Chains A and B, each alone.
Chain A
Amino acid sequence: MRRFILEFFESVRIAVTQIRANKMRSMLTALGVVIGIVAVTLMVTAIKGIDKGIDESFSGFGDDVLYVGKWPWSGTQEWWVYRNRRDIRTTYSEPINEWIKGNPDTALVRAVPADNTRTDVVRGDLKVSGMMLTGTSHEMALLSKSDMAEGRFFNEIEHQYGSKVAVIGYDVADALFPNESPMGQRILVRGAPFRVIGIAERQGSFLGAFSWDSSLIIPIRAYRHNINGRDEGDVQVQYDVTRANQARDELRGLMRRIRQLDPEDRDDFEINESEVIRGPLEEIKGYIATAGLMITGLALVVGSIGIMNITYVSVKERTREIGTRKAMGARRRTILMQFLIEAVCICLIGGLIGLGLTWGLAAIIIIAAPSFPIVFSPSVAFIAMALSTVVGVASGFLPALSASALDPVEALRYE
């Protein structure tokens, strides 16, 4: 063991000496690894960014919420069946909440009505189009994972009276109030004036997914009065995630009672979860990650071929030195280790430079395109260094093995 440690340090010393003696050659070889590591780490960074983007996009949706609606969120082949269903009334939230009050053991926590539509929002000369307008109750604040950047959500009294107050997202605020605070200001939604009482924290949007940033929220009664008088939409029900199945069963039973379905009738409503949307997104992310890592991995393979080549050259050049070392008592594994460590050292240098470049590029992207999600984490650094080591060992192994197997007599005679 002691001998192994001594030989290890001797190998590192030789590697450093060799690399310094052949600076240009080592750097050019390392360049292949640099490119490979930059490609792979950028890819990892981007994948982590996509992850973060998905997380942020869904942060507005609670992951502990069931959505009762007419349509399932996935697999809608028999669209005509769903189309002909009776509307889901947002007012179903009232009997559900009453039932929750009467059943302390329920896994359901609260129900919130929600109806929404796309609309323009106007303020003086400024107008912003296609914003998501949601009418709901004051309890929506308890469901959403978003925080308020400024102001507050509307309260129970405003909900009861259907006050014309609005909580707006970042994009709405930014478009209509470029140089001032929107707080307390008036905006027009379909001709009706609303007073801004709160601004939701900026959430960021990812791959065009829904974002609270481009939405505004008003009390459901104000919505019914000014936007759409027909009682339709969906009901969002928060539940205890530790009892998900119970929650689903209870909600289904409740809905069947509310809809007055006979036992033999099929459900004429759907209970959806945000996971239904998130699932396919995660799947797409998986494909991007696999394809991306395979393609960028190719760059690393090219780099490792360069390392293998230069290690072979190094072995050839130093055949006599190998012979001398063997004559002095170097064992096979000593020689093997010497060349392996040399290959690994070049790879680690390449890896470090590559990591630095990736870090720099990530920093530039964050400044230049803030909306592009990118995450440069310590785990990326770890992956890069581990990969460099693996590449070094993998590409150095064959040349090092050939060096270790050299016949000392032949090696000493080599010119």
Chain B
Amino acid sequence: MINPTETTAAPRALHPPGELVIDIEGVTKLYRMGTEVVHALRGVEMQIKRGEYLAVMGPSGSGKSTLMNMLGCLDTPTAGRYEFAGEDVADMTDDELADIRNREIGFVFQSFNLLPRSNALHNVELPLIYAGLSKSVRIKRAKKALEDVGLGDRMHHQPNELSGGQRQRVAIARALVNRPSIILADEPTGALDTKTGIEIMQLFEDLYDKGNTIIMVTHEESVAQHARRIVRLRDGLIESDLKNG
């Protein structure tokens, strides 16, 4: 077991860019829908290095969401190998996965998934509570994360007092606050108008420039074009995996 306080105290920047963070080999996933067995993933191989900006694309039913859940350690593969930052996560228990998610992955959801009745600061603090950090450290780091996404003056607002773009910024601050190895964004602009969407994409661009690893799941071509690498899925298999721009 890795001591969470120790790892969170060590900044990810110490990891050299280009180091392998995700290594997937022959990953399959079966679902049982009543009597029918659905092959959501049929043997996926993928390597992602630190500092990459990657978009996962594909029509609905392509296994895109399943892959994202797998990458986010929300789910484990039926078969195959999955190493996250050198740790084998394929056979981890629920609680071990929870710890990996807490330390290594920052989630950004389409519908923000902020806690209602908790202000922005507390929302951003949440992963740090689960990491077991003291209040003073939590507050300091949550404030910093909110300032980094340009919400230094909105810390004590409740989610329902914030605009959609601001809510997504809070969610991004929450994803960043634990200094994760990857930021996993699921349709981050899906619930936003075009203009706000562009602002959020600009924020991701900034995060990428600062050395963060970003994995984005989307079905919008214009959003995917921001990424430097685009992986296209079809029928549970990787159709193409290309550099972009």
- A residues sitting closer than 8 Å to B (CB atoms) are 2-3, 6-7, 10, 17, 21, 320-321, 323-334, 407-409, 412
Contact = CB atoms under 8 A, between A and B. Distances in A.
Interface stretch (B102-110, B141-149, B225-233): B102-110
Given A409-B69, A412-B109, A330 B115 contact: no
The secondary-structure label for the interface of chain A is: helix
B185 to A, nearest CB: 12
A334 B130 contact: yes
A401 to B, nearest CB: 13
A408 B76 CA distance: 11
B95 A320 contact: no
B113 interface: yes
Q: How large is the interface on B (under 10, 10 to 19, 20 to 34, 35 or more residues)?
A: 20 to 34
B179 interface: no
Contact of A10 (B101, B116, B129): B129
A320 B113 contact: yes
Interface string B67-105: 001001011000000000000000000110011011100
Contacts of B74: 326-327, 408-409, 412
A102 B72 CA distance: 97
B118 interface: yes
A191 B178 CA distance: 99
A6 B113 contact: no
Nearest to B97: A408
B127 A328 contact: yes
A169 B77 CA distance: 88
Contact of A21 (B98, B107, B117, B130): B117
Given A6-B132, A327-B74, A332 B94 contact: yes
Nearest to A333: B95
B130 A328 contact: yes
Nearest to B177: A328
B126 A17 contact: no
A327 B101 contact: yes
B132 A328 contact: no
B117 A3 contact: no
B131 interface: yes
A330 B130 contact: yes
Interface in B2-26: 4
Contacts of A320: 113
B113 A329 contact: no
B174 interface: yes
Interface string B121-163: 0000011011111000000000000000000000000000000
A412 B109 CA distance: 9
7 contacts: A3-B131, A7-B130, A321-B116, A326-B74, A329-B98, A329-B178, A412-B113
A409 B31 CA distance: 13
Contacts of A334: 130
Contacts of B127: 328-329
A157 B34 CA distance: 102
Contact of B131 (A325, A329, A412): A329
Contact of B113 (A2, A324, A332, A407): A324
B200 to A, nearest CB: 19
Contacts of A333: 95
A328 B95 contact: no
B181 to A, nearest CB: 13
B117 to A, nearest CB: 5
B117 A17 contact: yes
A260 B76 CA distance: 97
**When A and B form their complex, which 6 residue pairs have the shortest distance between CB atoms, in order from nearest?**
A329-B102, A3-B132, A329-B130, A324-B113, A331-B95, A408-B74
A114 B131 CA distance: 80
A328 B107 contact: yes
A326 B98 contact: yes
Interface string B54-76: 00000000000000010010110
Contact of B98 (A331, A407, A412): A331
Interface string B12-56: 000000000000000000000000000000000000000000000
A39 to B, nearest CB: 34
A329 B75 contact: no
Contact of A328 (B69, B94, B102, B118): B102
B118 A17 contact: yes
